[in-house]
Structure 1
C-alpha cells in the first residue's frame, strides 16, 4: 500500500491534521514543523490523493496565470516563479497568453475560460478597473502589473515611478547631462510607460537637468527592434544623448546594438540602463545595468493572496488589498564600465 497521511504523521511525530495542513498549504504552520513534515513526505514518497481531496474540498487544485506575452523574458521568468510558488501548495498552474487583446482579457474576466480553475492570477494590459469589476464572476483573482491599481481584486506591483527615478538618478549621478528615455507610449493602456516616464522626468528635475522632448523616444512595443530603432533616431538628432534610460531591458539591448554599430562606446560615449533584470542582460557585452524588481516576492505574494481568498475568514472576504514589492538598482558595465565595477 502507498504511504498515507497516518504514515507521514508517525514519521514526523505530528498529528494527521498537521500533515493535512502542510499538504494543503495552510500558512499557520510553524516553519520547523513544516520542514519536518516535508522531510517525512520526501522520505516516504507520499503522494496526495488528488481526486479525494477535490471531492472533499470542492476545489480542482488548478489555478490559471494570464500574461500579455510569454516571449517576453520578464513574463517568462515571472511565470516560472509563480509555478514554483504554486507547487508548494500542490497546485497546478495553467498559463494563458492574452497578447494584450481586450476580447481575450474580457473572456478571462467573464469566466468563459475559468470554469475548471480555482483562481486566476492576471496581468491585464487592455482592461481597466471598471471593466474588470463589471465582467467578473466569483472566481478569486489577483492582479499584477501597473494597469490596474485600487481595482476590484487584490493587486501586487512595484512602484514604477520611483524605480524609474532611481535609474535616471544613477545616470545623472555619474555626470551625464543629456539623458534620453526610450519607451514612451501615449495610448491609454500604456500605464507602465507613463509611470516610468514620470519617474524619469521627476529625477531630471531633481538633478537640475532640463527635460528635452527631443530626448524622449516613442516606441510601439518594448522589444529589441524598437530599442534599436529609437536609439538610431536619437543619434541622428542635432544633440545626441550621453546616457539613455530604457523602459525595459529588451529596449536597452536593442539600443546597445545600435550604439555599437555606430561606433559608440558603452558606457564611454553613451551610458545605458534598462529595467527588469532579465538574464540576457547579465551576459550581454557590456553587461546591462538595470532595475531589478523582486520577482520572487511578486510570485509569492500573488499565490499567498489567492490562497487566502480561497480560504475562510476575514482574509477571504475582506476588501481588495494593494501590495507594493521592492526593487533594487543593479549597476553593471553599461553605466559604470568594466574597470570601475
Structure 2
C-alpha cells in the first residue's frame, strides 16, 4: 500500500492539513513543525501525487529550457546551472534541443505540445533573429536568453557581450600584443554574439590606436573545436603575422591552441590565446586558457527567478525587462607575461 498524507500526519503528530501545507511549501509553517513533517516523510518514503497537485494548483512545477545544442560546452554548463537554480526553487527542468541554429525548429518549439507539461519556458534561440521578435508573443510565461533578439515582448536575460569582448582584447593589449587574430566572426551578422563581440574587439583596438586588419579575422560557420582548428590553420597558411588569438568562445580558442602547438609555436611566448565563456575545461588545458566568465551562473539564476515570478503572477500586466549580467576577465597561463 502507498504511503498517504494520513500516515505522515499520524507519525508526525499533526493534522493532514499541516502535512499538505508542508508538501506544498506553504511558507507560514513553524520550523519545528516543518522539521517533524519532513522527518516523517523521509522515514515513510512518502511521494506526493504530483498529478493531483498540478490539477489543484494549475501548475506542474516544471519549466522548459530550449537550447541550440548540448554538444557545445557552454550550453551544457548553462543547462547545469539552470537545473541547480531551479532546484533551489523546487522546480524541475525539461530540456529541449533546437538543432544548433535551426530557425524552423526554434519556431516550432514555441508551439510544441510538450510545453503543456511545463509552467513556462527559458528560450535560447540561435537561428531566429530580430525580425522574428513578434513570434515571441506566446500565451505562457517565457524568458528569452542569448543575443539574437532584443526589445521583444518578453523578459530577456543576457550578457554584456561587447563590453566583455572589449575587456578581453584590452587584456591582450596590456600583455603587449598588437596583432590579434580573431576566431568566430560571422560574416554579415548584424545582431548576435559574434557581431557584438567583434564590436567590442574593434572598440578596444581603436582606443589603443591599433589599426584594424581584416586579414586577422577568422570567419566560421559554427563555434566548435574543429572550426577553431581549421580557421587557425587557414590564418597560419595565409602568412599574415599575429602575436595573439582571441577566440569568441573557449571551444574555438582550445581548437586553435592545439594547432598553434602543432605548428611549433609556443603559447604564450610566441602567441597569446584568449577565450570567452569561462568553461570549466579551460582550467585544465595546457597551458590553462585565459577567458572571460560572462556571468553564466548569474544568467541561470536570474532567468529562473524571473520566470518563477512571471509564473506566480501569470495573467497580471507587466513591462518586459532586460537583465544584463556582470562579467570577469580570468587571466591564466595562455596570456601570461613572462
- Give the structure 1 partner of residue 60 of structure 2: 60
- Give the structure 1 partner of residue 106 of structure 2: 105
C-alpha separation in 2, matches of 1:83 and 1:105: 21
C-alpha separation in 2, matches of 1:56 and 1:225: 51
Q: CA deviation at 1:176?
A: 0.8
SS in structure 2 opposite 1:79? helix
Q: CA deviation at 1:137?
A: 3.1
Q: CA deviation at 1:237?
A: 3.1
TM-score by length of 2: 0.87
1:231 equivalent to 2:228? Answer no
Q: CA deviation at 1:189?
A: 7.4
Render the CA deviation track for 1:63-114: whole Å, top value 9, x for unaligned: 2111111101110011111112222333221111112111111112234442
Whether the 8 Å contact between 1:249 and 1:275 is mirrored in structure 2 is yes
- Give the structure 2 partner of residue 332 of structure 1: 332
C-alpha separation in 2, matches of 1:34 and 1:180: 58
- Give the structure 2 partner of residue 143 of structure 1: 144
Whether the 8 Å contact between 1:124 and 1:147 is mirrored in structure 2 is yes
Question: In structure 2, do the counterparts of structure 1 residues 51 and 228 end up closer, same or farther at CA, with 3 Å as the change threshold?
Answer: same
Render the CA deviation track for 1:187-236: whole Å, top value 9, x for unaligned: 44761100000000001111111111111111111011111122122223
- Give the structure 2 partner of residue 26 of structure 1: none
Q: CA deviation at 1:10?
A: 8.0
- Give the structure 1 partner of residue 202 of structure 2: 201
Alignment of 1:204-283 (within 5 A): 204-283=205-284
Whether the 8 Å contact between 2:184 and 2:220 is mirrored in structure 1 is yes
1:41 equivalent to 2:53? Answer no
Q: For structure 1, which segment, 90-99 or 232-241, has the greater mean C-alpha deviation from structure 2 after superposition?
A: 232-241
Question: In structure 2, do the counterparts of structure 1 residues 70 and 115 end up closer, same or farther at CA, with 3 Å as the change threshold?
Answer: same
SS in structure 1 opposite 2:205? helix
C-alpha separation in 2, matches of 1:328 and 1:8: 51
Render the CA deviation track for 1:112-143: whole Å, top value 9, x for unaligned: 44232211110011223453423643111111
Q: CA deviation at 1:299?
A: 1.1
Question: Which blocks of at least 5 consecutive residues in structure 1 are unaligned?
Answer: 24-28
- Give the structure 2 partner of residue 182 of structure 1: 183
Question: In structure 2, do the counterparts of structure 1 residues 17 and 133 end up closer, same or farther at CA, with 3 Å as the change threshold?
Answer: farther
C-alpha separation in 1, matches of 2:296 and 2:11: 33
TM-score by length of 1: 0.86
Whether the 8 Å contact between 2:85 and 2:301 is mirrored in structure 1 is yes
C-alpha separation in 1, matches of 2:182 and 2:32: 48
SS in structure 1 opposite 2:116? coil
C-alpha separation in 2, matches of 1:36 and 1:333: 53
Q: CA deviation at 1:17?
A: 9.0
SS in structure 2 opposite 1:310? helix
Render the CA deviation track for 1:162-196: whole Å, top value 9, x for unaligned: 00001000000011111121111024476110000
